[in-house]
Structure 1
Amino acid sequence: MIKHLLRGIGIFSGALILSLGLFMVAFLGLAGYAGYLTHQDMGAAAVPIRLLSQGLTTDAGGYTLAPECQDLLSEYSAWAILINDEGEIIWSQNKPEDIPDHYTLSDVASFTHWYLGDYPVTVWNRADGLLVAGSPPGMQWKYNLTISIAIMELLKRGIPTFFFTLLISVILLVILILHYGQKKRDRARSGWIDGISHDIRTPLAIIMGKAEALSTDSTLCGPVAQDANAILTASQNVRDLISDLNLTMRLDYAMEPLGLESVAPAPLLRALGAEVLNSGLASSLEINIAAEAEKLILRADPSLLRRALLNLIQNALRHGSENTLTLGLTTRRRQVIFTVTNAWPGLTPSQLAQLGTAPPTRGKSPDGLAPHGTGLTLVRRIAAVHKGRLAFTSPEAGRLQAELWLPSRRWYHPFP
């Protein structure tokens, strides 16, 4: 538990550091791009103060602003003033009415770095005074540095987008890393189970062959032949267990492709019943198929469906008190229901609830329910991949009924 917790904290911390680092890189890149636009006069909001100063000349008649500079002021909706050393305005162009005509040293120091009133301004020092050019309010953001409002809008829209994009990218990267790790563990688990299964099958085949040969040897006495038959039966159970374990694992990790085909459930159930009787597993077997279920066609994997039904039948015969079975097929709420019913004296509601959740795998449950191994687990997996479910009911006292529900919606096609 602590190991998984520390691992989760480490992954989260790494993802957080990575996301912050990518965010800083994106921010610096965006700021650099904004600076490039500013140096290229793209989105510039202030009149070029150097050009304005060069265009302002003086002669005997006073100051004259070159026509091209007057056009610049009009283009930028700007105004300009020239302040002498005494703080008086000695020349102006388009000066707003709320701009003062006299300035102190502190006023000059203030608007040189910030604003003049609500107007963002730029200044240029000349021999005859301080040239001030102002832009309309709202055209520039001016605190320590001057950036076009258009550039600021780009930053305002771009930074959150970059941040959330990078955050989502980091989250997806973490998910991919975890998914890769999970797939790697799944492959290792699959390889381990396949290897163990192969190692068990080889000696198991030898045991089964020897046991079968001994059971059919007419020279052996009865008890020895019976022991050989018991060994053969136990070996077959181990073989089936290994097969169930492998198939359960493959279904759990979506490694078993579904071969969906059109399956007629009524003939399938009859064939399974005949197979069970011919094999001698059950001394008595009854099959009840509802009339509305006789002509149904299901879309299912026939081998997996047959495997699930056989597991239910074998589980009922192994754990039931009698060697008799009742197989059924019916429909309800657009669902096809396979049923396997057997005698189970003394079945309590708590035992029935235990069967309905998960079969005990080790020892006995608190209700005294015997273990069922991987058989019912495999049936649940097969039902799940077919979008169905496994349920247990008690139709009458002392009887247990396993129900395999499969959805018939889209697959309900009666024969003509």
Structure 2
Amino acid sequence: MHTFARLIRRYVLAAISILLFLVVLFITSLFWFGYHAGFDWQSHMAYGTGEIADAMIQKNNSLQLDDVHTPEQWMEGYSWAMVLDDSGRIIWQYQLPEHLNHSYTTREVAGFSRWYLDGYPVFCHAKSYGLCVIALPPNSIWRYSVSCSLSLMTAVLHGMFPAVLTIVFAILFCCLLFSWQGARSLQNIERGLDTLSEGEPVSLPVSGFTSDLAKKLNQTSAQLQKRNEIISRRDTARTNWIAGVSHDIRTPLSLILGWAEQLEHDTALSAKTQQKAQRIRIQSEKIRSLIEDLNLTSKLQYGAQPLRCHSVILGPFLRRIVAEFYDSPLANGCTMDLQQAKDTENCSLCIDSALMTRAIENLFNNSIRHNAAPVHVTVQTQRSHGIVQIIITDTGTGYPPAVLHALVHGEGENTPHILGLHIVEQIMEAHGGEVRFTQNVPNGAKTILTLPLT
């Protein structure tokens, strides 16, 4: 069983693939966010602050925006703008709030040049004409500068890639470690399932993440062992009961048969009394046959009947069975016909000849006992693809629908009505063959015995 091994491999590969995908996705998203974050706030402005600062020109001893666009077009999306000279005086402004319209000291310029001026995010550009200050609406963007020593930043940049690799390998190691531990637990479960499938008791250690599953397997194994023990005791009791009853009945039944046969041939008795004795003998023989069938089917069911197989040539074997049965008193009122194909005459079969004879005779008896005389029984043989078939048909009324249903669907086994036919099924199964019961056309019963050739 390699199901759990495949499951673990797929789990490990899937975990590694997902991890690598997440790492690549994180790094890609980080770069994408960093790239676009610097331009997202400018997407609402017609022109960038650098373009506006470059568009300032001196004309008629004053500053003004390039007349390619109107000031409103240049400043679309911005709140205000101003230009300071070297002394901090305002030499140009656009919509500058009144409270901001004054000169600025060096300290004030140093304060707002980095981040904000009175809550307005501002961008400063030092040009030849002065310091150009452009403001955005309050709360429109977030601005903050981070200072760091060059040596620390250099160390971070140089150590970032090894650190990322270390983290990735650490995560992979944890995944492999946990997967290995999980695989060991699942291998124990796999061995337990294999043992359970072979009918052996299972006792798995209840630990790890498969503890619940191991506990369930242990409980299932205990229940199956208990149930198998109950079934074994029941089957043993049944077999012993059948054997004991058969042994106890055998002696009185032999006496009844002997006395009935003596009375049947006693000329001092009347013909009517002799006929009654004959019926007693016939019914007693049926009882003896039924007891033998019960013993045989019980042995075959539990493998207590050893097969004494040897090589048998099909042609002479079938001729002997048909001839002996036809000469027996059981065949009174019936005719028999044996039709063997030429390619089956010398077929070699490895069978228990006694059991196979019993199976065929059971079919003959079934045709004669359950049909009014005269009955014609035909035995045919045919061969194909490494098998040989023995086909037995009669001209009777055929199998009753209930009996045929029980035979085909395996219901009602060991009932007296089909016990002999059930023995045929068991004998064929013991030989690695099969039997099929059906109706003959136009009338009668038909049974097909299939056996493998040697």
**Normalized against structure 2, the TM-score is what?**
0.51
Partner in structure 2 of residue 315 of structure 1: 366
Aligned to 1:213: 262
Q: For 1:170-249, what aligned pairs fall within 5 Å after superposition?
A: 172=196, 173=202, 174=221, 175-249=224-298
1:311, 1:379 within 8 Å by CA — same for their partners in 2? yes
- CA distance change for structure 1 residues 311 and 350 in 2, over 3 Å: closer, same or farther? closer
Superposed displacement of residue 360, structure 1: 8.2
The yes-or-no answer on 1:344 pairing with 2:389 is no
Alpha-carbon distance in structure 1 between the residues aligned to 2:399 and 2:328: 32
Identity of aligned residues (%): 30
- Partners of 2:169 and 2:438 in 1: how far apart? 78
Q: Does 1:279 pair with 2:328?
A: yes
Give the one of 341, 344, 347 matched to 1:293. Answer: 344
Question: Which of 162, 185, 188 is 1:165 aligned to?
Answer: 188
Whether the 8 Å CA contact 1:204–1:235 is kept in 2: the answer is: yes
Q: Distance in 2 between matches of 1:203 and 1:391?
A: 38
Give the corresponding residue for 1:403.
448
CA distance in 1, matches of 2:400, 2:232: 40
Do the aligned residues in 2 keep the contact of 1:264 with 1:297 (CA within 8 Å)? yes
- How far, CA to CA, are the matches of 1:374 and 1:233 in structure 2? 19
Which AA in structure 2 matches 1:399? G
Question: 2:360, 2:295 → 1: CA distance?
Answer: 18
Contact 2:388/2:452 (<8 A) preserved: yes
Contact conserved, 1:282 with 1:325, CA < 8 A, in 2?
Answer: no
Q: Secondary structure at the match of 1:220?
A: coil
The SS at the match of 1:254 is coil
Say whether 1:303 aligns with 2:354: yes
Cα distance in structure 1, aligned partners of 2:260 and 2:154: 112
| Aligned counterpart for 1:330 among listed residues 336, 360, 381 | 381
Q: Does 1:390 align with 2:435?
A: yes
Query: What SS does the corresponding residue of 1:295 show, helix, strand or coil?
Result: coil
- Which digits, 9 at most, give the CA deviation of each residue in 1:195-238, with x for residues without a partner? 22222223222211221222222322211121111111111111
In the alignment, the residues of structure 2 paired with residue 328 and residue 196 of structure 1 have an alpha-carbon distance, to the nearest angstrom, of 36
- Whether 1:253 aligns to 2:302 is yes
Report the CA distance between 1:377 and its aligned residue.
0.7
Corresponding position of 2:314: 265
Change (3 A) 1:375 1:270: same
2: CA distance between counterparts of 1:278 and 1:177? 53
1: CA distance, partners of 2:364 / 2:370: 10
1:354 CA displacement:
3.5
Give the Å deviation of 1:307: 0.5
| Highest RCO, 1 vs 2 (Cα 8 Å, sep ≥ 6) | 1
5+ unaligned residues in a row in structure 2: which ranges? 1-152, 197-201, 203-220
User: In 2, distance between residues paired with 1:234 and 1:302?
Assistant: 28
Q: 1-side partners of 2:439 and 2:406: how far apart?
A: 11
Amino acid at match of 1:253: Y
Bigger Rg, structure 1 or 2: 2
Q: Which secondary structure does the structure 1 equivalent of 2:268 belong to? A: coil
- Asked if 2 retains the 8 angstrom alpha-carbon contact of 1:361 and 1:372, the reply is no
Go from structure 1 to structure 2 and tell me whether the alpha carbon gap of 1:176 and 1:349 turns closer, same or farther (over 3 Å shift): closer
Report the CA distance shift for 1:205/1:165 in structure 2 as closer, same or farther (over 3 A): same
| Aligned partner of residue 281 in structure 1, secondary structure | helix
**Following the alignment from structure 2 to structure 1, what is the Cα–Cα distance between the partners of residues 366 and 242?**
24
Aligned residues: 274
Q: Structure 1 residues 138, 294: closer, same or farther in 2, change over 3 A?
A: closer
Distance across 2 between alignment mates of 1:202 and 1:162:
62
**CA drift at 1:407:** 2.5
Q: Write out per-residue CA displacement over residues 161-212 of structure 1, whole angstroms, 9 at most, x where no aligned residue.
A: 2244146427723155544443333222211221222222232222112212
Secondary structure at the aligned position of 1:403 is classed as strand
The 1:301–1:138 alpha-carbon spacing in structure 2 relative to 1, beyond 3 Å, is same
- Counterpart Cα distance in 2 of 1:393 and 1:140: 71
Say which is worse superposed, 271-280 or 222-231, in terms of deviation.
271-280
Alpha carbons of structure 1 residues 259 and 307: separation in structure 2 relative to 1, 3 Å: same
Structure 1 Cα separation of the partners of residues 380 and 408 of structure 2: 23
Contact 2:381-2:388 within 8 A present in 1 as well = yes
Q: CA RMSD in A?
A: 3.9
Report if aligned partners of 1:288, 1:326 keep a CA contact under 8 Å in 2: no
The change in CA–CA distance for 1:309 and 1:139 in structure 2 (over 3 A counts) is closer
User: How many angstroms apart in 2 are the aligned matches of 1:215 and 1:96?
Assistant: 123
Check whether the contact 2:392–2:446 (CA below 8 A) recurs between aligned residues: yes
Matched with 2:129 is: none
